[in-house]
Amino acid sequence: MSQATVPDTTAGELDELVQKAHRAYLTARSVPPADRSRWLYAAADALDANAAGLIELADQESHLGETRLTGELKRTSFQLRLLADEAASGEPFELVIDHADPDWGMGPRPDIRRMSVPLGVAGVFGASNFPFAFSVIGGDSASALAAGCAVVHKGHEAHPRLAQRTAAIVIEALAGAGAPDGLFSLVTGIDAGSALVTHPLVQAVGFTGSTRGGRALFDLIADRDQPIPFYGELGSTNPVFVALQAWNARADEIIAGYLGSATMGVGQFCTKPGLLIVPAGSDLAALLQSADVDRGLGQMLMPRLEDGFEKSLQAVREHQGVSTLAGGSGADRMSVLHATAETVLAQPEVLEEEMFGPATLIIEYDGADSALALAEALEGQLTATLQADPGDDVDDLVEVLTRKAGRLLWNGWPTGVTVSYAQQHGGPYPASTASSTTSVGTAAIKRFLRPVAFQDFPQDRLPTWLRDEETTGVRRRIDGTWAGASA
């Protein structure tokens, strides 16, 4: 979609940027990870130094407010440094050494040593709802750069000027730190996005967005002569299951907490809880009123998202047996729909409608089997949450949800995704197109690497981290046993 102020990238410009990125990758891949990490620190420092201006611009384009955007920018520069440190530690490169072994069980073993290498140019798509943390130099870009890839970033139409400004700051910072020219660049427009994922030199794609948009990119990539990994984080309805004792003990607190999470960012989080699954028989309308369900919310990110939200809300409302407990149209306040488990299980497509925006569906279940059946009917999810008290027997539910989701929460709320070593942001399709990977946390770097084994190489021809005399103490698995410093 064209923006008056930011012209779309032409096909010729895109090709030139990708070619340049490929040349930058050829340089970057041979630079020690610790040196590359300094480039990411420079980008993080530049973001922090320009925080005020960036946040103001972001607020103009996203309406997300200064508090939230300040936190998000802090998270973004923190993430850059954490991923830089992780790469410098050697951890993502998975160093494994098997010395030659004449007595190996299947027959003599040659000397074989493995480490991971960067894939090449990564195409990264910005998300509308996180103008910093999942956009220009967000998690996908940061993890690709930490891996040693170059990045061509397709800016999101929801914040075109912010994307330009952020990219300019990043490019200047990278240049100042000695990174090769073209290592990071920005392109604009839908056509540029399609050309990016089909360009022969692009070797991986990161995306956060809708199931429809993500599936379109997935299909384009699957049709390439050379298919490449597509790390798409798509739709999720993030169910919250409330067990009986917890509900009896603290229904009001649960409803309040749930609404707080569901309305954050005007319901525009990929981890927004969209399904609240509770024991049948309560006065839900009264509980919702007590939790101030009708309070005014902010503005959605852009008119196109608001249109999509209203259509999606309407689609759920039109199902048989779905009633409206609050709101019911518009994005200015929360819409809460209602159905029974029986109704939903007869029309399970209701469970798949994300309603990206301030809306949620409460489902009343009658007995543990009914809740289990709902869990079994779910598609893949980024998150699934349990609200349960010590006496609640939810072992079976946990078992089912472990098969359905990438992250399980206990008595918490799914919005707010920490960036750490153990984080897992991804889940079975459609939550992710690559459920064995995460787009948040240190493990995200591995998405942009692949292993290479070196067989019988002389010591002086090996990458330094794979040599016997390696002295930095990097962690390696040697003949099956891990040794060396920890990350």
Restricting to residues 89-118, name those near a copy of itself by CB under 8 A.
Answer: 96-98, 104-107, 109-110, 112-114, 116-117
User: What is the total count of residues that contact a copy of itself (CB under 8 A)?
Assistant: 89
Cross-strand partners of 204: 122
Q: Which stretch binds a copy of itself (CB under 8 A): 172-180, 183-191, 194-202, 477-485?
A: 477-485
Planar angle of CA 266, 168, 11, nearest 5 degrees: 90
Residue 270 makes contact with a copy of itself by CB under 8 A: no
Q: Does 291 bind a copy of itself (CB under 8 A)?
A: no
Q: Out of 20, 36, 75, 338, point to the residue binding a copy of itself (CB under 8 A).
A: 75
Binding a copy of itself by CB under 8 A: which of 410, 464, 472, 473? 410
- Measured distance CA(371)–CA(364) in Å, rounded: 9
Nearer to a copy of itself, 221 or 266 (CB): 221
Whether the Cβ atoms of residue 321 and residue 340 lie closer than 8 Å to each other: yes
Number of H helices, E strands in the chain: 14, 17
Does position 405 interact with a copy of itself (CB under 8 A)? The reply is: yes
**Residues in Cβ contact with 163 at an 8 Å cutoff, skipping those fewer than 6 apart:** 6, 126, 135, 136, 153, 155, 156, 186, 188
Cβ 333 to a copy of itself, closest distance in Å? Answer: 28
| Cβ atoms of 297 and 385 closer than 8 Å | no
Residue 226 or residue 320: which is nearer to a copy of itself going by CB?
226
According to the binding rule CB under 8 A, does residue 453 interact with a copy of itself?
Answer: yes
Which residues are CB-contacts of 449 (< 8 A; sequence separation ≥ 6)? Answer: 92, 93, 116, 117, 118, 119, 147, 148
Q: Are strands 476-478 and 275-279 parallel, antiparallel or unpaired?
A: unpaired
Would you count residue 68 as binding a copy of itself (CB under 8 A)?
no
Annotation says 353 is catalytic: no
- Stretch near a copy of itself under the rule CB under 8 A, chosen from 181-189, 222-230, 251-259, 303-311: 222-230
Among 219, 292, 349, 369, binds a copy of itself (CB under 8 A): 219
Does 31 interact with a copy of itself (rule: CB under 8 A)?
no
Q: Is 369 in the site for a copy of itself (CB under 8 A)?
A: no
Q: Residues 151 to 210: which contact a copy of itself by CB under 8 A?
A: 203
The answer to whether residue 233 is catalytic is yes
Question: Which residues are bridge partners to 233 per DSSP?
Answer: 208, 432
> 22 vs 153, which CB is nearer to a copy of itself?
22
Upper half-sphere CA count for residue 411 (Cβ side, 13 Å): 11
Active site residues: 233, 270
